[in-house]
């Protein structure tokens, strides 16, 4: 059987087949050492086809984009702009003109925070489940612009992270300028009803920003179906190189948002006492971008599309069900978040009174298992509601196996018995 990198290179697709996880794993040489990587919510591994495409830029057409007529620059520009088309198709944007290329999801959120036109008394509605990148940014704007901000908290039991739509209904009013919400909690894995929240927000004329950092790599995300005005996600969580990210913005809103940075590449005309910004996504993309890495992002989109995002989602559902079942069966282990059917690829837990960092280190040293421990850049939900010292987080992706979960569970059982 051809490994996935060969299928990818030949342009073959696996859309209607089950995910061949062993074939996938051959594209990730780091896994040949036998390690168990369960930290994809922090950053994913990168497959060979993506690395090859990234290096292709440096080896064959290393030049700047949009700034030259010579053939190297033209080739680089064509490859770079092709990524915009691929990303638009991946999230079902109406066109590539709605795709802004950035460094990560955090930059996209900051761009919107500084670029939206705020008025005194405008309201922001968000949740306590948010990653710091979608929380402290708005706290800063609240202070800067004299805004109001309402934070929705989970219904009881709070450690499950489920939000009640009636709380959003009460919070969103005609003063609400923006509702900003994560699609999937990076701590609890809970999937939020972003489509229903978007409908409520639009009924009051508010904008909707969805943080898709933990959803876009793992499930089919359709921005037109959700109805959001903005969506952000990072390439490094979806098999792409670091330093790549996307801000989806409805095309008709492009000129309502001020760029975070301006400079080379963002203007169509400049004089001694004036400048005129470009229309479309280019107005937000100042300076030389991460060209090779963004081309790698396009390869990652191709890679995930070839496997089939639905296949990845179904594969991970089985892994998370198994993770949840095996960990909840261990005496002394407390698992946080909702039932598996309401969550994506993340399970946070603790072992008795052991410190989460000690457990994570023990998993690494004793079994070559890699997980995240601590607050996960989300102190309001982790420290204030779940456990002051933080949690252990296991997060899966397309290259994980049932055996990975067995090894995690058996090692945790050993740690729990010793603890």
For residue 94, count CB atoms less than 10 angstroms from its CB and return exposed for 0-12, middle for 13-18, buried for 19 or more: exposed
CA separation for the pair 389, 410 (Å, rounded):
24
CA separation for the pair 244, 292 (Å, rounded):
10
CA separation for the pair 298, 239 (Å, rounded):
10
Q: What is the three-class DSSP state of 88? A: helix
Q: Provide the 10 A C-beta neighbour count for residue 354.
A: 17
For residue 358, count CB atoms less than 10 angstroms from its CB and return exposed for 0-12, middle for 13-18, buried for 19 or more: middle
Is residue 405 within 8 Å of residue 326, measured between CB atoms?
A: yes
From the list 228, 239, 261, 377, the catalytic residue is 377
- Rg of the chain, C-alpha, whole Å: 22
What angle in degrees, to the nearest 10, is found between the helix axes of 291-307 and 48-60? 150
Q: Provide the 10 A C-beta neighbour count for residue 218.
A: 31
272: CB partners within 8 A, 6+ apart: none
Q: Is 377 a catalytic residue?
A: yes
CA separation for the pair 338, 15 (Å, rounded):
29
Q: Which residues in 262-417 belong to E strands, given as ranges? A: 267-271, 274-277, 333-336, 346-351, 369-370, 372-374, 391-395
CA separation for the pair 164, 328 (Å, rounded):
25
Cis peptide before 393 (omega within 30 of 0): no
CA separation for the pair 149, 193 (Å, rounded):
20
- What's phi and psi for 339, nearest 5 deg? -60, 155
Residue from 358, 359, 287, 305 nearest 330 by CA:
359
Is residue 235 within 8 Å of residue 297, measured between CB atoms?
A: yes
State the catalytic residues: 377
């Amino acid at each position: 059987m051809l490994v996935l990198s060969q299928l990818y290179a030949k342009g073959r697709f696996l859309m209607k087949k089950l995910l061949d996880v062993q074939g996938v794993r051959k594209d990730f040489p780091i896994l040949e050492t036998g390690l168990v990587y369960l930290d994809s919510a922090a950053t994913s591994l990168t497959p060979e086809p993506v690395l090859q495409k990234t290096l292709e830029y440096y080896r064959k057409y290393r030049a700047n984009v949009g700034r030259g007529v010579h053939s190297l620059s033209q080739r680089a520009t064509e490859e770079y702009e092709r990524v915009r088309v691929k990303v638009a198709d991946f999230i079902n944007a109406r066109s590539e003109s709605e795709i802004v290329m950035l460094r990560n999801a955090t930059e996209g959120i900051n761009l919107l925070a500084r670029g939206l036109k705020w008025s005194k008394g405008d309201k922001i509605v968000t949740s306590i489940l948010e990653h710091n990148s979608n929380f402290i940014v708005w706290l800063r704007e609240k202070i800067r612009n004299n805004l109001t901000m309402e934070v929705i908290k989970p219904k009881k039991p709070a450690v499950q992270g489920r939000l009640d739509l009636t709380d959003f209904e009460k919070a969103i009013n005609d003063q609400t300028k923006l509702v900003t919400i994560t699609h999937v909690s990076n701590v609890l894995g809970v999937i939020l009803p972003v489509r229903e929240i978007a409908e409520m927000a639009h009924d009051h004329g508010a904008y909707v920003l969805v943080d898709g950092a933990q959803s876009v790599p793992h499930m089919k995300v359709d921005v037109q179906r959700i109805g959001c005005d903005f969506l952000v996600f990072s390439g490094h969580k979806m098999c792409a190189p670091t330093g790549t990210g996307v801000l989806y913005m409805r095309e008709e809103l492009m000129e309502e948002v001020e760029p975070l940075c301006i400079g080379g590449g963002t203007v169509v005309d400049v004089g001694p006492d004036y400048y005129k910004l470009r229309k479309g996504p280019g107005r937000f993309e100042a300076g030389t971008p991460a060209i090779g890495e963004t081309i790698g992002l396009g390869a990652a989109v191709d890679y995930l599309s070839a496997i089939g995002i639905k296949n990845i989602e179904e594969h991970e559902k089985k892994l998370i069900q198994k993770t949840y079942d095996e960990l909840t069966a261990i005496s002394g282990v407390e698992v946080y978040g909702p039932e598996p059917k309401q969550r994506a690829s993340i399970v946070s837990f603790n072992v008795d009174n052991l410190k989460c960092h000690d457990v994570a280190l023990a998993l690494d040293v004793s079994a070559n298992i890699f997980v995240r421990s601590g607050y996960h850049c989300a102190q309001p939900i982790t420290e204030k509601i779940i456990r002051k010292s933080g949690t252990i987080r296991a997060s899966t992706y397309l290259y994980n196996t049932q055996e990975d979960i067995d090894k995690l569970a058996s090692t945790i059982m050993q740690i729990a018995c010793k603890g």
